[in-house]
Every structure is written in structure tokens, then in C-alpha cells.
Amino acid sequence: MAPRVQKRFENKIAVVTGAGQGMGKQVAMDLAAEGAKVVVTDIVPELIEEVRKEIEQCGGKCMSVICDVTSSEQIDRMIQKTIDAFGRVDILINNAGLLIPGTIEETSDELIDKTLDINVKGVLYAIRAVTPLMKKQRYGRIVSVSSITGKRGDNSTIFVYGASKGAVISLTRSAARQLGPFGITVNAIAPHAVMTSLMSYWDEEKKREVAEQIPVKRLGTVEDISYLMMFLASDESSFITGETININGGYYMD
């Protein structure tokens, strides 16, 4: 009998935004390791060049494209480049995101615009950009990154970030309803406490305090997140759509 899971993404083309580091880098590398041709995009060119090299050194297929997700033109161009190079887009991982903490009083107009531009508009633009093609293919897997704060809010330093991640939950449901008939699933994940550069504003004491409150007694890793993204990007999850799945060691359940 053949093993049940081999390379789940052979012949699949995947686009990952914000793939220069953190969760985006991990899932890009893991998708490539399971056979996908991966387009790694980010605003920081040196980071995606490094990721591209690492993927290629491991024998994976990869193209790097600089893309600022706040620009619909850059997203459209990046998707067109993907089509020119590989002919299709099977998987879109909307991972690029920004967290600048701020209480209500600290939240400036600039912070509101910057956060919503990246965390909300970036996702809307990218889903819109792949929709005609995925409909034509009658296949697609879209996975976006929300956050625990998008479901539960935050009682300390986060105001606009939580709102932006709440919007991801809503747009995921709308897109899932509209695209389901075309063989396209649209899901999101809601992580908490994954130690990446985004969370560098937490000091060691805060990390210890948070880990203590999590039932599994540890913080999250980029590998934890990648496993879930890969599942939602695979054919194993074809009956799941419109969901935003918690991934937080049991800290928040709904």
C-alpha cells in the first residue's frame, strides 16, 4: 500500500505574500518541499532573494517577485508574472501583515490607514486579482491570516489591528460563498503568540506570562502555523470553506 500522504502540492502553483520571513517564509519553504512551485513576494527584496535561494538549494522551484500588497497594481502585476511563468495560480496565501500596537488614544489617522491598507486592502486586492483565473480553472485554495484579536478584541495595546483582522474574517466568508461553486475554498487562520519579528515588541517577561496562560504551556512556532496553512491549501480540506480557524494552544476557543 502506498503511503497516504506524499507530496500534496505536486503540479500546484502557490503565491505567498509577506514571504520574506516568519510564517510566510516557513509555509513557502514547506509548500516547495511538498512539490509546489512557489512565488515568494514581499516588500523587502533581500529577504525574498534569500528565501528563493534557500528553496532552490533544497531542490524546490521558486520565483521571487517584489510586491507591496497596498498597491492593487503591484498585486495585479505579480499575479500576471506568475501566470506568465507558470500558467496558473492554485494557492494564494495572504500572509503579509503589519502590527503597530496602539491604544484607542494612540491610534493616529496614519496608523489606521497604514494598518487597513496592508491587512485589509492587501487581502481584498489579492483575492480579486486571482478570482477570474481560479474561476476559469475551477480550482483554488485561498488562505488568509487573521488573528485572535480579530475575533476577541484586545484589552491592552491593540485597536486598529484587531479591526483589520476582523475584516479578514468577514471577507473570507463572503469570498467563500461567492467562490464555492467554482471549486475554490476560502479560509483564514487566527493565530496567537507566534514568535516572529511582528511580535518583537513583547519582552521576555511578557512572553513567559503569555505562555503560562496558554493551556499547552508554550508559545506558537512558525511550523505550527505552516502545518495548518498547508492543510487548508491542500485537497484534504476541500469540504472546509469560510472558516477562520483558531491556532493558539487552547488560549481562546469559540
Ligand X SMILES: NC(=O)c1ccc[n+]([C@@H]2O[C@H](COP(=O)([O-])OP(=O)(O)OC[C@H]3O[C@@H](n4cnc5c(N)ncnc54)[C@H](O)[C@@H]3O)[C@@H](O)[C@H]2O)c1
Catalytic amino acids? Answer: 161
**Angle, CA of 159, 165 and 171, to the nearest 5°:** 135
Residue of 9, 14, 20, 32 interacting with ligand X (CB under 6 A): 20
Beta bridge partners of 16: 40, 93
Which residue, 214 or 240, has its beta carbon nearer to ligand X? 214
Rule CB under 6 A: say whether 248 interacts with ligand X: no
Binding to ligand X by residue 120, rule CB under 6 A?
no
Residue 247 binds to ligand X (criterion: CB under 6 A)? no
Nearest residue (CB) to ligand X, 13 versus 145: 145
Cell (9 digits) for 193: 503568540
Give yes or no for residue 30 binding ligand X (CB under 6 A): no
Angle, helices 122-137 vs 160-179, to 10°: value is 10
User: Segment contacting ligand X (CB under 6 A): 4-12, 17-25, 80-88, 234-242?
Assistant: 17-25
C-alpha count within 13 angstroms, C-beta hemisphere, residue 110: 2
Q: Which three cell numbers stand for residue 251?
A: 488560549
The one among 118, 143, 169, 188 contacting ligand X by CB under 6 A? 118
Q: Among the residues of 3-155, which ranges form H helices?
A: 22-33, 45-57, 72-86, 109-116, 122-137, 148-152
Residue number with CB closer to ligand X (143 or 179): 143
Find out whether 145 and 122 touch, Cβ atoms under 8 Å. Answer: no
Q: Which residue is nearest to ligand X (CB)?
A: 97
Which of 8, 61, 77, 98 is close enough to bind ligand X by CB under 6 A? 98
- CA-to-CA distance for 8 and 233, rounded, in angstroms? 9
| Contacting range for ligand X; rule: CB under 6 A; set: 63-71, 76-84, 133-141, 202-210 | 63-71
The one-letter code for the residue type at 22 is G
22-33 and 45-57 are packed helices; what angle lies between their axes, rounded to 10 degrees?
Answer: 30
Residues that bind ligand X (CB under 6 A): 17-18, 20-24, 42-44, 47, 68-70, 95-99, 118, 145, 147, 191-194, 196-199
